[in-house]
Amino acid sequence: MTFGDLELTPLLDRHFRLDGGAMFGVVPKILWERRAPADERNRITMAMRPLLVRGERLMIIDAGAGEKMEPKLQEIYGFDRGERLDASLAAAGVRAVDIEIVLASHLHFDHAGGFTTRDASGAIVPAFPNARYLVNAGEWEDATHPHERNRASYFDENYVPLRAAGLVHFTEADSVVMPGVRVRRTGGHTRCHQIVYLESGGKTAVFAADLIPTVAHVDVPWIMGYDLYPMETLAFKRAFVREAIDREYVIFFEHDPSIAAGYIRERDRRLYVEPVSP
């Protein structure tokens, strides 16, 4: 998708499954299962869709779960055998060594697992060895000091080796990454969770990360049970969805099983997503 001076390419790091109840928080199953059917273990199908950005620099936003997760967890999360990030990057004509910036929305495993990989000897090394990895300083602090409620999402092996390699650059909330690209802190999902604004040629696209993970989550109170601060999500999302409708943002849905990007529209006070084909 050409977007002014930016070129935006949604990637795929396979499909996986998470508990449907956890994905929709307080929304009852009789309502959410119409939008996201559950399997026999009550899991819904999702995807991991990092975004490739060609601008002044070659950048990837998030990197999926990667290959390091132990088989038992891969089974619990229903990792499929479909397209992986390396194949998706190759299809876009990019090698991992070409990536100059890796931008993290936050450090949960389904976003940061692909930041590192195992080399032939089994050692964990940066997956993008020539990149600088931009991580919000507060998110780093929380990820390296997990507590009982978020421990299952944070794995040191996904980011601590990057620090040792000297590749981590800490960022503050609401900073500019490169021309046309800036991050905005949402809080809510994690204390320093951030979304990415991509602005060029008078148009705006937003990589919404876990603020609006799938198109089934466009309604403002449809908020994940995983969110640590759901009232923060609610306040941010209420304002953001209004802004996205009024200004016709292209929204990238990182976890939607089939729709990578679309416009949020409103008709008769109901929200829906009009998909955009890349």
Q: Which residues bind Zn ion (CB under 5 A)?
A: 110, 210
The Cα angle at residue 86 between residues 82 and 91, in degrees rounded to 5? 85
* Min separation Cβ 109 and Zn ion, Å: 9
Q: Return d(Cα 196, Cα 236) in angstroms, integer.
A: 14
3-class secondary-structure state, position 70: coil
In 10 A of CB 15, how many CB atoms? Answer: 18
- Residue 42 vs 153, nearer CB to Zn ion: 153
* Min separation Cβ 64 and Zn ion, Å: 10
- Residue 110 vs 256, nearer CB to Zn ion: 110
* Min separation Cβ 68 and Zn ion, Å: 17
**Residues contacting residue 34 through CB under 8 Å, at least 6 positions apart:** none
Strands 6-10 and 51-54: antiparallel
Helices H / strands E in the chain, number of each: 8, 18
Structure tokens at 50: 């990092």
* Min separation Cβ 257 and Zn ion, Å: 13
- Residue 37 CA, chain-centre distance (Å), reads 22
Q: Return d(Cα 44, Cα 38) in angstroms, integer.
A: 5
* Min separation Cβ 110 and Zn ion, Å: 4
* Min separation Cβ 214 and Zn ion, Å: 10
- Residue 210 vs 256, nearer CB to Zn ion: 210
Q: Return d(Cα 99, Cα 58) in angstroms, integer.
A: 5
- Residue 110 vs 232, nearer CB to Zn ion: 110
In 10 A of CB 248, how many CB atoms? Answer: 11
Residue holding tokens 């981590």? 168
- Residue 110 vs 227, nearer CB to Zn ion: 110
* Min separation Cβ 236 and Zn ion, Å: 16
- Residue 16 vs 197, nearer CB to Zn ion: 16
- Residue 17 vs 199, nearer CB to Zn ion: 17
| Torsion region of 205: left, alpha or beta (phi above 0 gives left; psi -120 to 50 gives alpha) | beta
Q: Return d(Cα 188, Cα 50) in angstroms, integer.
A: 20
